[in-house]
Amino acid sequence: MKDNEIYKAAKTEADWLRYYAHRKERDECVYDNCEFYDKIPSIGYAKVVTPLAQRCAMMYVTGLQLVTDCKLNQLAIVSGPRNHSMNVYTPLEYFLASKNVPQDIKDELIRIIRHEI
């Protein structure tokens, strides 16, 4: 159940990133690590510009080892905030940067972000 919940959160996060990120930077970004939020500016639809990682993430995940080295069933859902030095990542960051996620799932999430599906 938790695994499916994290995957659904990652898909929702990809949808929100597609909506709130600048199109050019979003489409040109290479999503091969967990640093993409630091490269893409927000379009700022609100009075107060909220960082994309805060605006788009539905939850945060952590693990006993580095999140990007964990398998999905080894992750725990936490309240946040996103902090890589404390091993707290968004679900989308996990799915795009993890060595344990199949490439077809990564490609699907990237197509959602780039509005190709």
Cα atoms in the 13 Å half-sphere on the side-chain side of 100: 11
Q: Which of 44, 43, 53 has the alpha carbon at shortest distance from 23?
A: 43
Q: Mean pLDDT, consecutive 10-residue segments, the chain of 117 residues?
A: 89 95 92 92 80 93 95 93 95 96 96 93
What is the Cα–Cα distance from 105 to 54, expressed in whole angstroms? 23
Phi, psi (deg, nearest 5) at residue 74 = -95, -5
Residue pair 84/68 in contact (Cβ under 8 Å)? The answer is no
The pLDDT, as a whole number, for residue 1 is: 54
The pLDDT, as a whole number, for residue 74 is: 95
